[in-house]
Amino acid sequence: MPRSHPSLRHALGVVLAAALLIPAGLAIPSPAVAATLAEPPEVMVALGDSISRAGAADGTSGDNLPNSWSTGTAVDVMSHRARIADLFGAAPTAHNLARGGTETSDLPRQASNAVSESADYVTMLSGGNNICHASSVTELPAASSVGADYAAALKIINTGLPNAEVLVSSIPSMMSLYLAGRDSWMARVVWAAVGVCPVMLADPLDLSGTAHGRRATVESRVDALNLAIEEACAAALNCTYDDGAVNDMTVIFSDLSTRDYFHPSVAGQAKIAAQTWGKVIEKGTFNSAPTALPGAPMTTVVDETSSRIEWTGSWATSAHPSDNGGSVRYPRIADSGYSLRFNGTRISIEARRTPSSGISEVRIDGVLVGRIDGYSASREYRQLVFVSRGLLAGPHTVTVSATSEKNPDSTGRNSIVDALIVESSS
């Protein structure tokens, strides 16, 4: 049965009311855009893990579905379901199909259940467990596998629900979570007692270069996973990515559950709801204009042999057929580095990870943005070791400098580079 459209007067009124709920700094649709509102979704589903089920949000154990950022009913959260009700005058039937403790490999199964529910609107937030189930940085998940999980789930939805709108949220920043809870003795006690995400949260007061390098490696992998998730969404139909809105959130102590100081509290759930809803409005997810299959961002691979790279110090070449272009560069002396001027919206670095690699610092436009720990117990070729956050389109300079620091198990301090990958808008 066809669904009736809300009246134009009502549609304009609720959009203006909804605009009051959008976080500061996000674009607010004009009345002309609001006038093209599509039919309201009748059925929405949430896919993902315990974050979407509001696990421990109110300080108690288990799921706390009324406080879910996606499908919840709590007034203090103002979930997507609640905001859709404000926008269209009617709340959709909601099914929370997320499952606590799952990794992204469970998304295709959840997506099949979403098809069974005939969903019009689907939210997806998963990947944190892929990171936190790793016992060490060497066990961190590959971005390619997480991207493939998302691509498989999105294909199931696009095939079974070709008209459904999908919102894909970025993985939250593990570094922000760590910084929000580090100074609380209670959080530190709980993290240690329960073993919460030890790859990031173990030994929270250890501020040594090794500990910082471990955390920086974890955060860099989160960024790599988010890039893979973004690319999967860009290749799918009717998919809106949050542009890193969840990952970019500044997490404060009150955003953490008092149960485990890891899951979002009710305030944290509300923050996720507001940030992601802002992207829904900004990108016109519920506008009636037809959705076309979007193109993927343009990428340019700058091999380490390129004359575009500027080198300081002394560098040597090591050849292997598994490297990009068949070779990599590594420094002969300390205090060596390299830089690249580029025009784009993101920069990534590919390297060979080895038992003799050390820790390097990455700066963009002179600002320290990350560290690369190139150590691996065995050689790994063409590894994505750094992915920047989104940048304003335009000229930038990335600079990588070797440091005197290294993983305790490393036999050296090499700063190996294979290629730099520049992303720009198509």
Q: Give the domain-ending residue among 282, 313, 340.
A: 282
- The Cα–Cα gap between 316 and 331 comes to 6
Half-sphere exposure of 301 (CA within 13 A, CB side): 12
- The Cα–Cα gap between 352 and 415 comes to 9
Q: Which residues contact 336 (CB under 8 A, 6 or more apart)?
A: 311, 312, 313, 314, 315, 401, 402, 415
* Residue 408 within a domain: yes
Asked whether 331 and 413 are in contact (CB, 8 A), the reply is no
- The Cα–Cα gap between 47 and 98 comes to 4
Whether residue 208 sits in one domain with residue 64: yes
Q: Which residues contact 197 (CB under 8 A, 6 or more apart)?
A: 131, 132, 174, 177, 191, 262
Whether residue 185 sits in one domain with residue 41: yes
Structure tokens at 296: 């993927």
Predicted TM-score (pTM) of the model is 0.63
* Residue 379 within a domain: yes
CATH of the domain at 312: 2.60.120.260
For the chain, the first-to-last Cα distance in angstroms comes to: 39
Whether residue 122 sits in one domain with residue 216: yes
- Number of structural domains, the chain? 2
Whether residue 249 sits in one domain with residue 207: yes
Whether residue 238 sits in one domain with residue 361: no
* Residue 1 within a domain: no
- The Cα–Cα gap between 112 and 133 comes to 25
Whether residue 334 sits in one domain with residue 267: no
* Residue 2 within a domain: no
pLDDT of residue 284: 79
Q: Give the domain-ending residue among 248, 282, 316.
A: 282
Whether residue 420 sits in one domain with residue 330: yes
Angle subtended by helix axes 8-19 and 80-88, to nearest 10: 140
β-pairing, 419-424 with 298-303?
antiparallel
Structure tokens at 417: 């580079």
Whether residue 57 sits in one domain with residue 176: yes
Whether residue 342 sits in one domain with residue 255: no
Asked whether 336 and 360 are in contact (CB, 8 A), the reply is no
Whether residue 319 sits in one domain with residue 255: no
Single out the residue of 181, 397, 416 nearest to residue 320, CA to CA.
416
Single out the residue of 416, 344, 339, 341 nearest to residue 385, CA to CA.
416
pLDDT of residue 335: 85
Q: Give the domain-ending residue among 253, 282, 311.
A: 282
- The Cα–Cα gap between 343 and 365 comes to 12
**Residue ranges in the chain whose pLDDT is less than 50:** 1-37, 288-294
Whether residue 211 sits in one domain with residue 139: yes
Structure tokens at 74: 């709590």
Whether residue 336 sits in one domain with residue 232: no
> Where would I find the beta strands (DSSP E) of 38-126?
43-48, 93-96, 121-125
* Residue 367 within a domain: yes
Instruction: Tell me which H or E stretch contains 267.
Output: helix 266-282
* Residue 288 within a domain: no
* Residue 287 within a domain: no
- The Cα–Cα gap between 119 and 18 comes to 23
> Where would I find the beta strands (DSSP E) of 296-336?
298-303, 309-312, 315-319, 327-331
pLDDT of residue 20: 32
β-pairing, 93-96 with 43-48?
parallel
Q: Spell out the long-range contacts of 316-325 with Cβ–Cβ below 8 A and sequence spacing 24 or more.
A: 318/352, 318/416, 320/352, 320/381, 322/381, 322/382, 323/352, 323/381, 323/382, 323/418, 324/350, 324/382, 324/418, 324/419, 325/418, 325/419
- The Cα–Cα gap between 370 and 416 comes to 16
Which residues form the domain of 333? 298-424
CA geometry: angle at 358 spanning 355 and 359, to 5°? 140
Asked whether 166 and 240 are in contact (CB, 8 A), the reply is yes
CATH of the domain at 88: 3.40.50.1110
Asked whether 167 and 123 are in contact (CB, 8 A), the reply is yes
β-pairing, 337-343 with 395-402?
antiparallel
* Residue 312 within a domain: yes
> What is the full DSSP assignment across 148-212?
HHHHHHHHHHHHH-TT-EEEEPPPPPHHHHHHHHTT-HHHHHHHHHHT-SHHHHSSTT--SHHHH
